[in-house]
Amino acid sequence: MLQGKVLVAQGGGPTAVINQSLVGVVLEARKFPQVEFVYGAAHGVSGIVNEDFLNLTQETSFNLEMVANTPSSALGSTRDKPDADYCREIFKVLKAHGIAYFFYIGGNDSSDTVRIVSEEARNAGYPLRCIHIPKTIDNDLVGNDHTPGFPSAARFVAQAFAGANLDNAALKGIYLAVVMGRHAGFLTAASALGRKFPDDGPHLIYLPERIFDTERFLTDVKLNYEKHGRCVIAVSEGIHDASGTSIITSLSAEVERDAHGNVQLSGTGALADLLCSEIKAKLGIKRVRGDTLGYLQRSFLGCVSDVDQREARQVGENAVQFAMTGSVDGSVAIKRTGDYSVKYELVSLESVAGKTRVMEDELISASGTDVTPAFHDYLRPLLGSNFPEVHRLSANKVAKILAQ
Amino acid sequence: MLQGKVLVAQGGGPTAVINQSLVGVVLEARKFPQVEFVYGAAHGVSGIVNEDFLNLTQETSFNLEMVANTPSSALGSTRDKPDADYCREIFKVLKAHGIAYFFYIGGNDSSDTVRIVSEEARNAGYPLRCIHIPKTIDNDLVGNDHTPGFPSAARFVAQAFAGANLDNAALKGIYLAVVMGRHAGFLTAASALGRKFPDDGPHLIYLPERIFDTERFLTDVKLNYEKHGRCVIAVSEGIHDASGTSIITSLSAEVERDAHGNVQLSGTGALADLLCSEIKAKLGIKRVRGDTLGYLQRSFLGCVSDVDQREARQVGENAVQFAMTGSVDGSVAIKRTGDYSVKYELVSLESVAGKTRVMEDELISASGTDVTPAFHDYLRPLLGSNFPEVHRLSANKVAKILAQ
């Protein structure tokens, strides 16, 4: 077992439970006598190269527990994607501070950083244990049944669509909402779990795993509108046409530029607005409303899956266990073992780094605009306890008098 | 006491607790022997003129309790704003069905409908008791301390900004979110209750009660960005310039039209996107993100204030009590009597109908971009129990080694 300091950092987009993993690492690492100090790097890898470290060795356990229940990255995060040179800088700092254990909580970019740093250390003959801890609301890490952060975001999306469906049933029309996930449609697909009654929306779900055809989309919407008198639609931000061009780009091509000469692409409401314009113009439906779930789906305070909380804690704890008792670097992965149970394994960094998982075919319906029962079976246990339920009146109609 | 049927309907935008009021009316009305039947009109006044009634007389109390906890309008709603002719149609149907008690749950438009129907009945010498039951997330009914639906929507907004602030602290930049409320800024102001630590966002709050000046806005944003390295901004959808022109219109004037020749106004993400474009272009800040809370703030399943639930139930119950024991038509109003306690009064329909309350001056800070402590005192008890809390690490910085 290596003697030295522990360094933990958080990278990429925050999640509702990423601090559970951080706290799992800190509390677990402090139990081991060979650990001299536990440092946290501010704002991920950028804090490492700037030596911006917090000393978490004496942070009270009570406050850590409070922080664990707080969403977003308590250490701060970064969008930096280190190349080989950047990773050499990281390694230089780790060495200078006598870091023996490096834990990086993040998505597939972060796992690639860990992979390169691990290689640097090996090449330099410096004893360093590097462990990647999974986190991403996109659920796009290969080798994992699912990733911490995804279940809570999925719960938010399901609750958002369950509510939006009720709103749309009360005031009929078209409701469309854009969900995060550029390459993987898991989060958009989670909208299906907001349904309860057979005619509940979302009636259509558009995933980046399937080619988006605007004409077919309009036909789908029209059919559902005729059937239900309304239509609720979930759309992934990553939808694209057959050539791979994202729909926001292809639709925006028809749209003019703003006062500063830029196409209105960056504004996060743009895709929903463009699709709503298409529906209004081509189908002539008046009440068309578009939302973009935006940052709420990963940051909203007070929507969390308890299963996700528990697992995020455990990937942090297990990362330390693997580091202290094992002799290889790697990435902690969640494997499903039963219905519902999981185990944690250490997989190679190479198997995760820089790879993107997308939704498996058996999770998407033949129509391409819905999910299968297998997806329901997959996601339901992840959403956690006390998912709010909706109910309807069951009363009979009263006979008309005047209209007879 | 009048003998006959009860008719209850729901109008305007749904809320998280509007079904509490509906269920309050139904359960309370069924206790009175002079009530022959309890009907619910589908989709508000449009269901009345179409005689689209549900018979709620035997709806099970258990199911009613389940529906009470379900957000959105279980009977369906409508955006119809009846004129005098429409109200005469309503009255004709009420008379034909032997309705003796008419309860309409809605905002100030709905109270105006109740006022006209009440007048019709009086002029026709038809014995009808008409009671308006308040509901609106905008909190813009005069004569009320606050309106049912607002506290839950305010809680959603506060939780959304509390989370967005944490996200923005982790990945720094500008975060701006647009909140509902065309004339009244209460809901936008609720974002302030998402703050805990002194440097928490929202750092700027723009309300429709104050004139929005784009140059001053940019200066405000710049100052806060320099101070905090980031800035979280809450913006009411109703902000307007000195001439009363809404900002979305004045900024869109610079923006071109879409493929169908329409200015992109209707898309709900437009205002956030326009303001973000301004910040990017004029301040040269790279990471600028805009969200529009959209329908989530009134429909999200699973974010409700228990105080709001209770009061929404009680305005429904009290409406029936006033109708059965009193001899005048009116609107139920919530009056604050202590810290925190309320009572329910019946006020005249004329005093509420068609009027709009906006934020009182003492609730808005002198800067015009924040709220006062009085607003905190006003809103805090309404948000209900178990508002989620956020926590921070308190660890010390580690001394740098390489950068010395």
Position B234 in a domain: yes
**Closest alpha carbon within chain A to B65:** A391
Q: Residue B81: pLDDT above 90? A: no
CA distance A353 to chain B (A): 22
- B372 and B247 together in one domain: yes
Same domain, A113 and A195: no
Q: Do A294 and B295 touch (CB under 8 A)?
A: no
Report chain B residues whose CB lies below 8 A from the CB of A55: 395-398
Task: Kindly report, residue by residue over B85-142, the tens digit of the pLDDT.
Answer: 999 999 999 999 999 999 999 999 999 999 999 999 999 999 999 999 999 999 999 9
Tell whether A214 lies on the interface with B, counting CB pairs under 8 A.
no
A318 and A281 in one domain? no
Chain B, nearest residue to A274 by Cα: B267
Closest by Cβ to B269, choosing from A267, A281, A302: A267
Query: What pLDDT is recorded for position B269?
Result: 84
Residue B262 in this model has a pLDDT that exceeds 80 = no
Q: Does A184 touch chain B (CB under 8 A)?
A: no
pLDDT bracket for residue A269 (50, 70, 90): confident
Question: CA torsion sign, A31 to A36 to A42 to A45?
Answer: negative
DSSP bridge partners of A105: A10, A133
Minimal CA–CA distance to B189: which of B142, B153, B226?
A: B153
* B39·A398 Cβ contact <8 A: yes
Inter-chain residue contact B51 with A402, CB threshold 8 Å: yes
Task: Answer whether residue A164 shows pLDDT above 50.
Answer: yes
Q: Which of B75, B170, B177 sits opposite A14 (nearest CB)?
A: B170
Q: Is B277 on the interface with A (CB under 8 A)?
A: yes
In this predicted structure, the answer to whether residue A257 has a pLDDT above a threshold of 50 is no
Contact A232, A164 (CB under 8 A): yes
CA distance A120 to chain B (A): 19
Shortest alpha-carbon distance between residue B337 and chain A (Å): 30
The model's pLDDT over A183-209, given as tens digits with 9 standing for 90+, comes to 999 999 999 999 999 999 999 999 999
Residue A210 carries which DSSP code? Answer: S
pLDDT digits (tens, 9 = 90+) for B272-299: 989 998 999 999 998 999 999 999 999 9
What's the Cα-to-Cα distance from A17 to each of A148, A198, A318, B15, B151, rounded to whole Å?
A: 7, 32, 16, 29, 27
Nearest to A94 by CA among A130, A59, A123: A130
Q: Around Cβ B353, how many Cβ atoms within 10 Å? A: 21
Phi, psi angles (nearest 5°) of residue A233 = -130, 130
Continuous segment of H or E residues that includes residue B21: helix B18-29
Q: Say how far apart CA B123 and CA B150 lie, in whole Å.
A: 35
Residues A204 and A245 in one domain: yes
In chain A, what residues touch B400 (CB-CB under 8 Å)? Answer: 51
pLDDT of residue A263: 41
pLDDT over threshold 60, residue A324: yes
pLDDT of B336 > 90? The answer is yes
Chain A positions in Cβ-Cβ contact with residue B69 (cut-off 8 Å): 391
Query: CATH number for the domain including B14?
Result: 3.40.50.450
Q: Identify the CATH number of the domain in which residue B212 sits.
A: 3.40.50.460
Residue A395, in any domain of the structure: no
- Model confidence at A248, pLDDT cuts 50, 70, 90, reads confident
| Alpha carbon of A41: minimum distance to chain B alpha carbons (Å) | 10
Q: Kindly state whether residue A389 falls inside one of the protein's structural domains.
A: no
User: What percent of chain B has pLDDT above 90?
Assistant: 89
Does residue A25 sit within a domain? yes
DSSP secondary structure of A352-369: HTT------GGGB-TTSS
A117 vs A96: CA distance, rounded Å: 14
pLDDT band, very low/low/confident/very high, at A404 (cuts 50, 70, 90): low
Q: How many residues does this entry show for chain B?
A: 404
**Cβ distance B237 to B182 under 8 Å?**
yes
Residues A236 and A321 in one domain: no
Q: What is the nearest CA distance from B31 to chain A, expressed in angstroms?
A: 18
**From CA B42, how far away is CA B29, in angstroms rounded?**
18
Per-chain mean pLDDT for chain A: 94
Q: Do B131 and B229 belong to one domain?
A: no
Angle of helix B18-29 versus helix B61-68 axis, rounded to 10: 160
Query: From the CA atom positions of chain B, what is the Rg in Å?
Result: 24
Q: Is A12 left (phi over 0), alpha (psi -120 to 50) or beta?
A: left
Query: Which chain A residue has the Cα nearest residue B274?
Result: A267
Q: Is the pLDDT of residue B172 over 60?
A: yes
End-to-end CA distance of chain A: 87
- Mean pLDDT computed over A277-287: 92
* A403 domain-assigned: no
**Domain match, A186 and A49 both:** no
Number of domains in chain B: 2
Residues B311 and B282 in one domain: no
| Cβ contact B54–A395 (<8 Å) | yes
* SS3 assignment, position B61: helix
Distance CA(A213)–CA(A239), nearest Å, equals 9
pLDDT value of residue A267: 42
Contact at CB, A51 and B403, closer than 8 angstroms? yes
Q: Is B266's pLDDT higher than 50?
A: no
> Is B245 found in the same domain as B104?
no
**Predicted local distance difference test score (pLDDT) of residue B404:** 61
Q: CB of A291 within 8 A of CB of B291?
A: no
Residue A401 in domain: no
The answer to whether the beta carbons of residues B235 and B188 sit under 8 Å apart is yes
Residue B184 burial (CB count, 10 A): 25
Domain of B170 in residue numbering reads as: 151-301+361-383
pLDDT bracket for residue B325 (50, 70, 90): very high
pLDDT higher than threshold 50 for residue B258: no
- Is A145 tagged catalytic? no
Q: What's the pLDDT at B267?
A: 42
Question: What per-residue confidence (pLDDT) applies to A81?
Answer: 87
Q: Are residues A252 and A167 in the same domain?
A: yes
Question: Cβ B52–A397 below 8 Å, yes or no?
Answer: yes
Q: What is the DSSP string of A213-274?
A: -HHHHHHHHHHHHHHHSSEEEEEETT-B-TTS-BHHHHHHTTS-B-TTS-BTTSSTTHHHHH
Q: Which of residues 319-378 of A touch B (CB under 8 A)?
A: none
A45-54, A79-88, A186-195, B353-362: least confidently modelled range = A79-88
Residues A142 and A191 grouped into a single domain? no
B397 touches chain A (CB under 8 A): yes
Among B59, B388, B395, beta carbon nearest to A56: B395
Determine the pLDDT at residue B253.
59
Q: Are strands A53-55 and A35-41 parallel, antiparallel or unpaired?
A: antiparallel
Number of inter-chain CB pairs under 8 A, A vs B: 322
Short-list A64, A48, A43, CA closest to A7: A48
Residue of B138, B140, B200, B308 marked active site:
B138
- ipTM greater than 0.90: yes
**Mean pLDDT computed over B197-220:** 97
Provide, rounded to the nearest whole percent, the portion of chain B with pLDDT above 70: 96
| A370: number of Cβ within 10 Å | 17
Q: Which residues in chain B are contacts of A300 at CB distance < 8 A? A: 159-160, 163
Would A261 be classed as within a structural domain?
A: yes
Point out the least confidently predicted range of A123-132, A246-255, B119-128: A246-255
What distance in Å separates the CA atoms of residue B202 and residue B371, rounded to the nearest whole number? 11
Average pLDDT over all residues of chain B: 94
Preferred mutation among A258, A260, A304 to probe B, highest tally of B CBs within 10 A: A258
Between positions 120 and 149 of A, the ones with CB within 8 A of B are none
Same domain, A221 and A87: no
Contact A264 B277 (CB under 8 A): yes
Boundary-marking domain end, from A352, A370, A392: A352
Q: Which residues of A touch B170 (CB under 8 A)?
A: 10, 14, 43, 72-73, 76-77
Catalytic one among A52, A83, A85, A138? A138
Please report which confidence band the pLDDT of residue B259 belongs to, taking 50, 70 and 90 as the band edges.
very low
**Residue B26 located in a structural domain:** yes
